[in-house]
Amino acid sequence: MRRSARPFAALVAALTLTAGLFAAGAPASARVSGASAAVQASDVSLAADTYDWKNVRIDGGGFVPGIVFNRTEKNLAYARTDIGGAYRWDQSGKQWKPLLDWVDWDHWGWTGVVSLASDSVDPDKVYAAVGTYTNDWDPTNGAVLRSSDRGATWKASTLPFKLGGNMPGRGMGERLAVDPNKNSVLYLGAPSGNGLWRSTDSGATWSEVTAFPNPGNYSQDPTDTSGYGNDNQGIVWVTFDERSGSAGSATQDIYVGVADKDNTVYRSTDGGTTWSRIAGQPTGYLAHKGVLDSDNGYLYLTLSDTGGPYDGGKGQIWRYTTATGEWKDVSPVAEADTYYGFSGLTVDRQHPGTVMATAYSSWWPDTQIFRSTDSGATWTQAWDYTSYPNRSNRFTQDVSSVPWLTWGANPTPPETTPKLGWMTEALEIDPFDSNRMMYGTGATIYGTENLTNWDSGSQFKITPMVKGLEETAVNDLASPPSGAPLLSALGDIGGFRHTDLDAVPDMMFTSPNLTSTTSLDFAESSPNTVVRVGSADAAPHIGFSTDNGSNWFQGSEPSGVTGGGTVAAAADASGFVWSPEGTGVHHTTGYGSSWSASTGIPQGATVESDRKNPKKFYGYKAGTFYVSTDGGATFTAKASSGLPTEGNVRFKAVPGTEGDIWLAGGATTGAYGLWHSTDSGATFTKLSGVGEADSVGFGKAAAGASYQTLFVSAKIGGVRGIFRSTDAGTSWTRINDDAHQWGWTGAAITGDPRVFGRVYVSTNGRGIMYGDSSDSDGGGTDPGTDPGTDPGTDPGTDPGTDPGDAACSVTYKVTNQWSGGFQADVTLTNTGSAELDGWKLAWTFPDGQKVGQAWNATVDQDGAKVTATNVSWNGRLAPGASAGFGFTGTLTGGNTAPDAFSLGGEACATG
């Protein structure tokens, strides 16, 4: 089974990141201007080129523990992921829109979303409780993010404790809830013994509800000393009974679920002033969910003997009658017959008495979904046995839009492929449409639009409803000079051969199937030869391909191998060097029919190949660089002075040039940066302008350039970002922006050898991002300055003065619009023959629109007149170069786009 939990302790423990805090949040498209002061302190040429960023489509690939529908607006829904951020449903495209791509490197933990809440009083408001780990793997405290424009922009309230979006129990919930009568009041259930918290100012400030008596006591594994398995899972859900309040006054009856098997449900009947354990409740279980059917006054609980999301061997479903205090076991299966717990829980708001639940931990032969139309008195299930092992399904399942969901499997009955799911803790019936249901699994979101066929005896159809939601953790990337443009090594689902970046691949790598691929490589001069290594429950841990990754065969492996490690292919495909987990570095000729131990290099070293000399391989560990000139048989220690001894270190050799190596890595407690060697690692030179670097890759050279384009995930000039250099690191251009940061991007980066400017960037939970430059061939070297110089405007030049004979063009595009608000992106292009050294763009809004928050420009407004002025990093525009900026705004009437723009008093063309 594929599981999406990613504690990745070793990786995170090695990330010695500085955890800064900012009081203001950021737009889904960018951080707000007020939070950007540190970014604007750059002394590097930035954003001289604009990039279009997209996901390499996979569709899903990870655990979706929560789906939330707004109760008062149709088609408004959100999804949360354990490490990949939050999403809003776009009904027009039937796809998900990412909302947290602005999360920066220092706050990477905020990509883990432990809970979501959509305000039913004001549907424009949405809240997210974020933080990935409650132990020291995540250096940053959790936060509650709040948005008043459906996630287009955010503000953050940092909490005095951590939250665990990727911790055990993360499928329980929702832990964050908005009072449905007085929406300025919110509650948050905290882990780690921190209790119940409340906000009375729409999430801006929070305080502990000291009267709440029980912070929980359950942990997955009390013997674990890492802080992961032994963490108290705490307060796990909050539910309001909206009947006990009226518009503008606080709801009086509030129910709270606690991770305590003897005391799992508490209630307040006075608006949260006092709390008590509800008498007569079931014991011996944890209530994963508590959902109130307010039309008939029933509170339903789904219970499991563990917190999930993987484990759970017994379970029950109970119903509480709020009017009388009666508890009733309404389980669809006798407790003795369960081998799973219950978690997913939903009611049909259009048809009181209809309730559904999931057997979330039924891994074999499949998950189960239960449905009742009489308040739990009787149940039917999604599939039944006819005569074992044969099944009768109430559903049909079509995964043609995401075909890899079959895993290429051919199981024997009663298993099927694709599966109905696993880890099915998120389950929601659309409150406006009884026919639409969505549920999350460990790999995707499934859904149906004809659910009520269940009741009529005909089959309902299940399909993936996951387009736009990309949730893979990326370990390695390779872009060969021929064949598929991209090969990926991914956590949990192995990896893919991507022949079309904008289409879902047919199948992940198979034969062998690796749970997670940790490293892959192709032979530089024979790119049809590919090797990959990774994790598996047992051998094999390695696979080979001779057709560019289309088909694979497994190789043998040395004794003692426990995991993938890193692998390198000789430039001419004549041999391979492998540094697996569990044993030392080995080498082979051919395709791994036998392996021999390498000498002179320590176990656990990272290995790479020279991209020209097929006999030359390289290794690195703990500050020492190693070189082999005999195909990996023997290694010799080379450079060590000044190289990083801590943190993650990644290095690559430049294609076509023997001995040309770039090394990135380190830690803030020691050496950290980017180093270059042109003598096969005998010596390295540290680039003075690069403060930190974590991955490096190469792409097609710019027109007229003699060196391949460099790409890095790094901090340059005080700015964290994705950078490009077309002049061997002399100058750098930041090619992402504050709207596109994706948390942690340090695992892998590579350019495309066939398309100038194209870069592939790894994320830890948002899949593979790829960016294309607006400059089709680079036009020579970057227009950036030396990192030691100041690219700001000349102190004697007013950015608003007439740019002389410069000309300009402007594109203005509304990229998102909602009730009362919108988001717009603007691109200014210098179409003249002279460089612009500072710019000030003016226009007039025809419908009285008002600018709110802006990014990549300083925007001032006087009545209908608007002026946007460059910020420090995008003021210089060479002829043909562009600068992009954007903003959110408010509407009181129409939203007609401006039809005239001027730069320094001269009109710009529009298009």
Report, in angstroms and rounded to the nearest whole number, the Rg of the chain calculated over CA atoms.
Answer: 28
- How far from 584 is each of 60, 136, 598, 639, 840, CA to CA, in Å? 35, 30, 8, 21, 60
**If 0-12 CB within 10 Å is exposed, 13-18 middle and 19+ buried, where does residue 796 land?**
exposed
The residues that are catalytic are 82, 492
> 275 with 267: CB under 8 angstroms?
yes
Tokens of 476: 């390695």
First to last CA, the chain: 51
Per-residue CA distances from 94 to 97, 460, 467, 615 (Å): 10, 19, 7, 52
Structure tokens of 86? 């939050």
The DSSP output letter for 40 is G
Sign of the Cα torsion 900, 905, 909, 911 reads: negative
Do residues 607 and 566 lie in contact, with contact meaning Cβ atoms separated by under 8 Å? yes
Asked if residue 606 lies in contact with residue 579, where contact means CB atoms within 8 angstroms, the answer is yes
Concatenated DSSP letters for 216-285? ----S-TT--SSSTTS---EEEEEEEGGG--TTS--SEEEEEES-TTS-EEEESSTTSS-EEPTT---SS
The closest of 463, 466, 547 to 499, measured between CA atoms, is 547
What are the angstrom distances between the C-alpha of 494 and each of 497, 693, 873?
A: 11, 26, 39
Distances (CA, A) of 390 to 394, 412, 480: 14, 10, 46
Place of tokens 């992940």: 508
CA dist 125 and 183 (Å) reads: 10
The three-point CA angle 485-515-363 to 5° equals 130
Which amino acid is present at 8?
Answer: F
* Euclidean distance between CA atoms 46 and 32, whole angstroms: 18
Residue 450 is given by DSSP the state -
Nearest by Cα to 558 from 516, 588, 590: 588
Concatenated DSSP letters of 686-718: E-TTEEEEEEEEEEPPPTT-SSPEEEEEEEETT
Q: 609 - beta bridge partners?
A: 617
Query: Which of 307, 139, 1, 64 minimizes the C-alpha distance to 744?
Result: 139
Q: Which of 299, 352, 350, 351 has the alpha carbon at shortest distance from 328? A: 299
Strand pairing category for 821-830 and 808-818? antiparallel
Q: Residue 11: which H helix or E strand, with range?
A: helix 9-14
Choose among 51, 908, 67, 909: nearest CA to 466: 67
- Give the DSSP H or E segment for 370: strand 368-372
> Is the bond preceding 309 in cis, omega lying within 30 degrees of 0?
yes
> DSSP letters along 528-548, please?
EEEEEEEE-SSS--EEEESST
